[in-house]
Structure 1
Amino acid sequence: MRRTSAWIGWALCLCASLAVSAQNYPEDDEMNLDLIREDGTQPESGAEPEFLRCNKVAWRVPGQYLVILRQGTHESHVHKTVRRLKAKAARRGYPLEILQTYSGALRGFLVKMSSDVLHLVMKLPHVHYIEEDSSIFAQSAPWNLQRLLQPHGSSSENATYQPPNDGRMAEVYLMDGSVQSSHREVEGRVLITDFNDVPEEDGVRVHRQASQCNSHGTHIAGVVSGSDSGVARGAGINLVRVLNCQGKGTVSGALAGMEYIRATLLARPMNAVVVLLPFIGGFSRSLNAACRDMVANGAVVIAAAGNYREDACLYSPASEPEVITVGAVNAADQLMSQGAGGTNFGRCVDLFAPGDDIVSASSDCSTCFTTRSGTSQAAAHAAGVAAVILSSNQNMSPVQVLQTMLHHSIGNTVNLLSLSDTHRLTTPNLVAAMPPANSTTRCTSWSTAGVSSNSRPHLGDGKRCVVKDGVTLHALCCHAPSLECHLLENISADKDQVEVTCPSGWTLTDCGTVSQGSAVLGPVAKGNSCRVRGATGGAAGLAVCCRVRPAEQPVTAPQ
């Protein structure tokens, strides 16, 4: 929470200023006097601290500065540095106010002061860099769900959205404005946390409450986890409010929100965590560093690429390499366009996802829906896919989740001809798609009583291995779109050698045997065939044959 100090009478003499300081911080009286006597402090050895400003002039927040200390600085030095700065400013009659301190991923503080005081901050020990605070913005502008399951654009109006799972094993931390938790789409799955760090709205006299906000946060939550419009319909949503009702926030507020999430996860560790950042700001070193730390602590961080039809590397958090940055496409797999704007692009984008004319929950009422477009919506789709992936394997690292998403994305469907030659070569031509459910490509059993007919494995329905009780069973499962597998068998009671071969178009993925009472030699895989030898005959050969099912073709077993 923000900690404010009511400094009064800055035009008075130094003694009056110190009296106010002593009143607010009585335990620091002697410290302030000592620090003033040490006014000659020079910066730490090494390069002078950098001063950073947002590359978008209109987005800067004048008079608010993030002071970030060097990596490895002890937490106690944050408060010591604050006291030292207050003492220096008091001696010269400069007013300042400490708005926030950070002691998580980054060590530092947010200070409200005149730019005239910057030279004092530059001389403080332990200071790594100073970044002027800046604004961040929401990025918003039922083909989209079918698109995730129909990766080649052949969506069907009568198709049913059936992902491999509903993502219920994952928790999504949504950093946005507000969510109507009573909406039928997300009711029972949204937790409104007690974190709230938003700037005042522009051009209004009354600062609206979260319940009066526009639909951005509710819409995004619906895309992630909505009962009808959501990608991962069982995933939990934890709202961390960093945007006001106009969809505007600050880098400092986002940093505080990420520190809140970090502290929550340290207190209540979880494996399957997705942090969704559906906003954009100018390039920010501190915001990128906080995202990098979040990933290092095991969270999958997903961000909007931005709606400015520019290189995503100019913005944060989209420019952070450890973040999964998502651009937006329309129903025809073309780059999303919004008047003069449109989806950002370039090497900092990891993949694209549906982001145009997306139907989801509206905050107008508990049963209302609305259509929005933007890379916020695209990032929400990717967050839902990540939740489904993590629900299949909660121990996956953020890198493994990204690799899984990239592996199952559909390539070379987006028309990038509108981009410059440089950006066309560096922008990934990948559209997110839902990984299919596991397909069984191998069945193996082991019985303590030895090989017998009772320990024989078989594919129950093409998706699972089945064996009788008392037998240990192992299955090898592979991800592949539309993979179709079947078990072939060849039994001969009067031949020493049995061979079973997968037909043309099918691939041998497993070779096994079942004894009919005699010793068995093998099995041995040779080419697309499985060979078994029995000492006195009676050997059975088993082969698992797989193929990628042709489009629009029903399931058929190999003959």
Structure 2
Amino acid sequence: MLTKRTLGCVALALLLGACGTQTLPPTSDLPLPKVTTGEKKAPVLEVDPASAVPQKYIVVLKKPEAGVASQGISKLTREGIVQKLGIAQLGRQVEKVYTDALYGFSAKLSAEQLEALSRNPQVSYIQPVQRVHKQATQSSPPSWGLDRIDQRDLPLNNSYTYATDGSGVTAYVVDTGIQVSHSNFGGRASVGIDTVGDGKNGIDCDGHGTHVAGIIGSNSYGVAKAVKLVSVRVLDCEGSGTMDGVIQGIDWVVKNARKPAVVNISLGSEADAALDQAVKNAIQSGLTVVLASGNQNENACNYSPARVPEAITVGATDSGDKRTYFSNYGSCVDLFAPGLDITSTVLNNKTDSYSGTSMASPHVSGAAALYLASNTSATPAQVTAALLGNTTPNKVLDPQGTPNKLLYIGNSPVTTTPPPTNTGPCSGANCTTYTGKFNAAGEYYFPPANDYFEYGGGTLKAWLKGPSGTDFDLYLYKWNGSDWDVVGLSESPTSEESITYTATSGYYIWLVTSYQGTGSYTFWMQK
């Protein structure tokens, strides 16, 4: 991300100038943003007003300087935030603090307080807290999902064959909690954290999280029947919550996870930059994250965290291998798994059948646990490659532009790491690749041609990859008629960044910058 020491050149605005070494004259008539000599306001990102919690915001701080990062993050507290930002006199109430998946906090802010914080040089960006919900479910007839994922073709053979059981792996269920006393968990379920604050202490009072956990690892209905299950309760008894609580749950997992581990997130919201960043950082910490694509029958690239490309995003199929009528679709979905009429554990030591992409993703989380049990040092990228490489192709009817891959665990675990490929994250006529080099921290460039572009609307995607040990960041800006607004950003502690943005028509420009380190990088853009 861009810090005060580079703002004399960039100031979180874009300019063709002398800071970078890759300067070319602009090719079009629209002026690029001006150099600013003072601090530029941190962007306040927009969300759907209908989903915003009044006056509540997530404030993401700039990354600590190199050399003091770990110390600064580990000691970040409510009191420390007040002191660090000098905000005590404005009476802000800091509610939740993030130290691992994000670096920042949530707070209730007045308009005056929001304006003052946006001008604080230590703030990277601010966004309203959104409401978040479980992916809707419904009662249905008995299950068939386990039967489907261990065979290539229909009809079902009324059996589920597996070679490993997930022993030694932990699955973190970010959801409504888990009824840990359910007899079908065999004592393998426990409580990790509860961010709801209603006194339930991680125990499910809705049923959704218990159902999801049962698909991952219950004795009778689970894919990985010996995996440890941990409740990360972020949704209340009605299956609703707020984004600051969801991020707090993910933050706790990053700090406390016992690996090898998989994280299942069967919830979602409108596009949310802070949630996306938290999920990306969780993956970069070594956690495999599996996401439900959503139940809106729309493009999954419009929703968070389903649009995070580093995660495994799952769509739902029915027992005839057709994409369900509710499942989201598109290029942000990685594969399909059973998601209609799935029987699993629910409250009061009972079972029931639910439908939703919430039921599809835990099938994949269970499959990830099976793989990790035999490949304990596998990275999230290797787990993803193994699962996708083992899918059954071209079985799903009506995929709607989604990769046509159906989950398959086979009769034995995959024990070899797929060979690396030289292909990038996108290809074809709509994919543009650019390579460049930073010779000093603080340099920046506007790939691929040092200029903006006009776009008619749709999904914009970009990826950035730089050397290990460096910290390069990625931004997307949109012209508002008089200036450039930040509409997307990716600021992980590494140089592997990505942005997916649902764009309206207008003018856009990408920015890559070195926060720390030097070296060559590759940028991909798809539109």
Q: 1:369 to 1:405 in 2, by over 3 A?
A: same
2:398 to 391, 402, 416: 416
Q: Which runs of 5+ in 1 are unaligned?
A: 1-42, 201-206, 440-475, 480-559
1:226 Cα deviation after fit: 1.2
Q: 1:401 to 1:44 in 2, by over 3 A?
A: farther
Q: 1:145 to 1:83 in 2, by over 3 A?
A: same
1:238 Cα deviation after fit: 0.7
Contact 1:438 1:477 (8 Å CA) reproduced: no
1:85 Cα deviation after fit: 5.5
Counterpart code for 1:247 = G
Contact 1:181 1:187 (8 Å CA) reproduced: no
Counterpart code for 2:195 = D
Contact 1:140 1:216 (8 Å CA) reproduced: no
1:139 Cα deviation after fit: 1.3
1:437 to 407, 412, 420: 412
1:133 Cα deviation after fit: 0.5
1:49 to 16, 38, 42: 42
Q: 1:128 to 1:210 in 2, by over 3 A?
A: closer
CA distance in 1, matches of 2:61, 2:87: 18
Contact 2:52 2:131 (8 Å CA) reproduced: yes
Q: 1:351 to 1:47 in 2, by over 3 A?
A: farther
Aligned to 1:178: 177
Counterpart code for 1:48 = K
Q: What SS does the corresponding residue of 1:276 show, helix, strand or coil?
A: strand
* Number of aligned positions between the proteins: 370
Matched, 1:330 2:318: yes
Aligned to 1:144: 145
Aligned to 1:347: 331
CA distance in 2, matches of 1:348, 1:223: 23
1:385 to 363, 367, 372: 367
Contact 1:199 1:249 (8 Å CA) reproduced: no
Matched, 1:224 2:205: no
CA distance in 2, matches of 1:108, 1:324: 26
1:154 Cα deviation after fit: 2.1
Contact 1:81 1:124 (8 Å CA) reproduced: no
Matched, 1:117 2:107: no
Q: 1:44 to 1:288 in 2, by over 3 A?
A: farther
1:244 to 236, 245, 249: 236
Using CA pairs below 8 Å that are at least 6 residues apart, which structure has the higher relative contact order? 2
CA distance in 1, matches of 2:204, 2:246: 21
After superposition, the C-alpha distances for 1:68-87 in whole angstroms (9 at most, x for unaligned) are 11123553787565336564
Contact 1:324 1:402 (8 Å CA) reproduced: yes
Counterpart code for 2:308 = E
Q: What SS does the corresponding residue of 2:185 show, helix, strand or coil?
A: coil
Q: 1:356 to 1:85 in 2, by over 3 A?
A: same
Matched, 1:104 2:97: no
CA distance in 1, matches of 2:37, 2:173: 38
1:46 Cα deviation after fit: 6.0
1:88 Cα deviation after fit: 7.0
Question: Which structure's residues are more often helix, by fraction?
Answer: 1
Aligned to 1:306: 294
1:437 Cα deviation after fit: 1.4
1:277 Cα deviation after fit: 0.7
CA distance in 1, matches of 2:52, 2:230: 29
Q: What SS does the corresponding residue of 1:380 show, helix, strand or coil?
A: helix
Counterpart code for 2:301 = C
Aligned to 1:494: none
After superposition, the C-alpha distances for 1:94-137 in whole angstroms (9 at most, x for unaligned) are x5311122222322111112233211011112111001111111
Counterpart code for 2:135 = Q
Contact 2:161 2:411 (8 Å CA) reproduced: no
Contact 2:39 2:121 (8 Å CA) reproduced: no
Aligned to 2:64: 72
CA distance in 2, matches of 1:238, 1:209: 13
Contact 1:208 1:245 (8 Å CA) reproduced: no
Counterpart code for 1:241 = R
After superposition, the C-alpha distances for 1:121-166 in whole angstroms (9 at most, x for unaligned) are 1111211100111111111423111100122122123xx3121211
1:198 Cα deviation after fit: 1.7
Q: What SS does the corresponding residue of 1:53 show, helix, strand or coil?
A: coil
CA distance in 2, matches of 1:315, 1:477: 33
Counterpart code for 2:343 = V
Runs of 4+ in 1 over 3 A off after TM superposition: 43-47, 76-81, 83-90, 207-212, 476-479
Q: 1:87 to 1:60 in 2, by over 3 A?
A: closer
CA distance in 2, matches of 1:291, 1:249: 17
Contact 2:151 2:410 (8 Å CA) reproduced: no
Q: 1:295 to 1:77 in 2, by over 3 A?
A: closer
1:478 Cα deviation after fit: 10
Q: 1:402 to 1:438 in 2, by over 3 A?
A: closer
Contact 2:52 2:128 (8 Å CA) reproduced: yes
Counterpart code for 2:263 = V
Matched, 1:59 2:47: no
CA distance in 1, matches of 2:81, 2:412: 54
Aligned to 2:474: none
Q: 1:212 to 1:258 in 2, by over 3 A?
A: closer
Matched, 1:361 2:353: no
Q: 1:46 to 1:97 in 2, by over 3 A?
A: closer
After superposition, the C-alpha distances for 1:386-410 in whole angstroms (9 at most, x for unaligned) are 0001111111111111111111111
Range 112-121 or range 61-70, more displaced: 112-121
Matched, 1:134 2:133: no
Q: 1:387 to 1:80 in 2, by over 3 A?
A: closer
Q: 1:50 to 1:435 in 2, by over 3 A?
A: farther
CA distance in 1, matches of 2:372, 2:37: 44
Q: Percent identity?
A: 31
Contact 2:191 2:202 (8 Å CA) reproduced: no
CA distance in 1, matches of 2:367, 2:170: 12
Q: What SS does the corresponding residue of 1:433 show, helix, strand or coil?
A: coil
CA distance in 2, matches of 1:431, 1:72: 42
Aligned to 2:441: none
Matched, 1:82 2:92: no
CA distance in 1, matches of 2:125, 2:356: 33
Matched, 1:287 2:275: yes
Contact 1:225 1:231 (8 Å CA) reproduced: yes
1:258 Cα deviation after fit: 1.4
